[in-house]
Amino acid sequence: MTFDDLRMEDNCDKDYILVRNGQNMFSPVIGRFCGTHNPAPITSSGYALTVIFHTDAYGSAPGVKMHTVDVQRGCGGLIHMTKGNITSPKYPSRYDNDVECVWTIEFVPGYRVKLEFAGRFDIEMDDSCSKDFVMVEDFNDDGTWTEAIKKCGPANPEPYISKNRKVRITFHTNDRINGDGFNIVYSTACGGNFTSPTGEIFSPNYPNSYGDRLNCTYTIGGPFQYISLSFESHFSIESNNECAYDYLKIYHGNITNSTEQGPYCGSEAPAPRTLVGPVTMRFVTDYSYNADGFKVNYEILNCGSTLTEPTGVISSPKTSAEYLKEVDCTWQIIAPLNRVIVLKFSNFDLELTYRCWHDYLEIRDGLDTGPLIGKMCGNSTTIVKSTGNILTLKLHISSSRPAKGFSSFYHTTYGINQGCGGTLNTSSGEIQSLDADSDGFYEPNLDCSWLVQGDIDQVLRVTFDRFDVEPSRNGTCVYDFVELREDIRPDSAIIGRYCGSSVPTAMITSGSRLYVILHTDEKNNKAGFKLRFQSVASPCGPSTLVITPEPQTLKSPNYPNTYPMNLRCRWTITGNQNSTNWHNRQMVQLAINQLDIPCGGDYIEVQKEIWAVEEDRFRDRRVVGSRPNSTKCASYTRHLGRLNLPSLTRGKIRGLCC
């Protein structure tokens, strides 16, 4: 750039021409000019100069006239050659001050840029490399650049391979100390590490011919991850019976013969697969005959981890295309020392086999060597609760039938040691909701369960002293609730589910056991509940009756007077348990002679034991009303006949006699 005429004010703080050595407002300043003396011609170090003409609000002058011309000397530019050198201006002599050079190297798809710093490296030293520096940036898919290297001083940087096929190299100097500069040797490279959740990998120059003497290594994912690979149908690698010339090999885990899959060549693409990470692919070519290569889409799936958050989701890995067929994953949930872990399943589908030999989810209380809580397969919605602060899950899938897997969520909460649940082997006692911080309200996200085992041959009287649990619309009790069951078994009878502020009335159980469940969600905590229980003689009489050749009579309590409210009676009628002859079957015959039970809540129910052989010959029947019924019921097993008669009362009616 040559100044032909310069006529401006003499004070360069007011009116001036500013010239920067580069293409932006931050490029080095070559000079600031004013007055009437023409500066010497200016030559840029790169392909651009930035000229700023500034005037203030006072005074005026004719201004400036200048012209520019292209010259060969300079630095920077766009490079497409597959190998070469980039050096600082005048290398190996000392570079100039106020220089900015920008080189962009761009290769064909499938290649990466390899940079090696050779020879002497000498750039003005600065702790932050903000004065003189050489900077390497990677190009991103969204059009932005990410800094990869920024160096100064006397030490050669380590070799660098770009993350994709395009890099930008910037050399910047200030107006003071200079050095001998640098020499960068660039060349093509292939392969790399791939950690994005999804992506694609293709051979250099795909779908056009790849090059000679390639040795590309692609590493996808890491340990405890599953990598799904799906190849494009256009697959073309030099064909040979043994794939001895050009080939693609796939490894899962360590690179050994035992983990090798392939080699692959020809025109048939490898089948889709999911492998334990990390997955490594090696693409090797010789010096003759090139084909179009390959393209593979990958997806990284996490399978197994250590979880320390108070809540989270655990699910079996699944690709976007298919369910996994071979899986071994381990999750370990670690809660704070004063907490336990509750695990709930939203769906569960693993192949059902005898003792879950093929596919299963193993849950252990504590570390992976801790007590076994359960080994699950088939379909299940079990709720699991640890006794300590660690829960371990192991998923194993090895069957040929693809499994849908499972999805679950967990949260940390309080356990038995903090007053949430337990087993009470006593004839009397009390149970109340947990208020760990003594603020007058029960804690959120509780799942407490108490099993009460009172005196044998007696029943339990249950009385609530206080009750205040978050209500639900229409009394559905879906948020917080207290549930009473007659036993811990999932199929045990539900006495009731309660919420709101109305204190439940006192009740008597049908047996010596009681299962109490408290569930709370994350908000609207209330004052909670307190109940007392006491073993008492059953008003229903003996609970087990043995049939005899002579008829026997069974009556509801107080018959023929009105029976008590909130009464639960259960009678089990059995045959001769000492009989070992299958043909010596005994029939339980029941005839209801008098009946006075209104519809609307009270009933007597006749049940057949679930392990009966002739299951289709009898169904459970509920009997209500005032008309006597004559019913004959039979129940057979190999050793005994058995009939259950549970009854429930809520009002005072006369009852039944049979």
State the 10-residue block means of pLDDT for the chain, 658 residues long.
94 92 78 92 81 91 92 76 90 91 89 94 93 95 92 94 93 92 94 90 92 93 86 95 94 86 95 87 93 94 88 80 68 94 91 89 94 91 89 84 81 92 96 95 94 93 97 91 92 92 93 95 94 94 84 89 86 70 66 84 77 42 56 38 54 45
Quote the pLDDT of residue 652.
Answer: 39
Quote the pLDDT of residue 613.
Answer: 39
Last residue of a domain, one of 15, 39, 67: 67
Asked whether residue 63 falls in the same domain as residue 80, the answer is no
Asked whether residue 389 falls in the same domain as residue 461, the answer is no
In 3D, which of 512, 508, 553 has the Cα closest to residue 650? 508
**Residue 549 domain-assigned (yes or no):** no
Cα 559 to chain center, whole Å?
61
**Residue 600 domain-assigned (yes or no):** no
Quote the pLDDT of residue 653.
Answer: 41
With the CA atoms of 379, 382, 387 and 391 taken in that order, what torsion angle do they form, in degrees rounded to the nearest 10?
40
> Interior CA angle at 428 toward 426 and 432, to 5°?
100
Task: Tell me the β-bridge partners of 151.
Answer: 134
Quote the pLDDT of residue 634.
Answer: 41
Quote the pLDDT of residue 617.
Answer: 37
The one-letter code for the residue type at 394 is K
Asked whether residue 237 falls in the same domain as residue 287, the answer is yes
Asked whether residue 207 falls in the same domain as residue 161, the answer is no
Cβ atoms < 10 Å from Cβ of 314: 21
Asked whether residue 87 falls in the same domain as residue 183, the answer is yes
List the CATH number of the domain containing 168. Answer: 2.60.120.290
The structure tokens listed for 259 are: 């983990």
Last residue of a domain, one of 67, 100, 115: 67
Quote the pLDDT of residue 116.
Answer: 96
Quote the pLDDT of residue 401.
Answer: 65
The one-letter code for the residue type at 654 is R
**Residue 560 domain-assigned (yes or no):** no
Asked whether residue 420 falls in the same domain as residue 405, the answer is no
**Residue 645 domain-assigned (yes or no):** no
**Residue 19 domain-assigned (yes or no):** yes
**Residue 527 domain-assigned (yes or no):** yes
Asked whether residue 290 falls in the same domain as residue 325, the answer is no
Quote the pLDDT of residue 620.
Answer: 57
Asked whether residue 243 falls in the same domain as residue 216, the answer is yes
Last residue of a domain, one of 190, 220, 252: 190
Asked whether residue 432 falls in the same domain as residue 477, the answer is yes
**Residue 598 domain-assigned (yes or no):** no
Say how many residues make up the chain.
658
3-class DSSP assignment, residue 355:
helix
> Interior CA angle at 464 toward 458 and 468, to 5°?
150
Number of folded domains that form the chain: 5
Asked whether residue 213 falls in the same domain as residue 123, the answer is no
Quote the pLDDT of residue 542.
Answer: 85
3-class DSSP assignment, residue 21:
coil
> Interior CA angle at 362 toward 358 and 366, to 5°?
160
Asked whether residue 106 falls in the same domain as residue 93, the answer is yes
Asked whether residue 479 falls in the same domain as residue 493, the answer is yes
Structural domain span for residue 386: 311-412
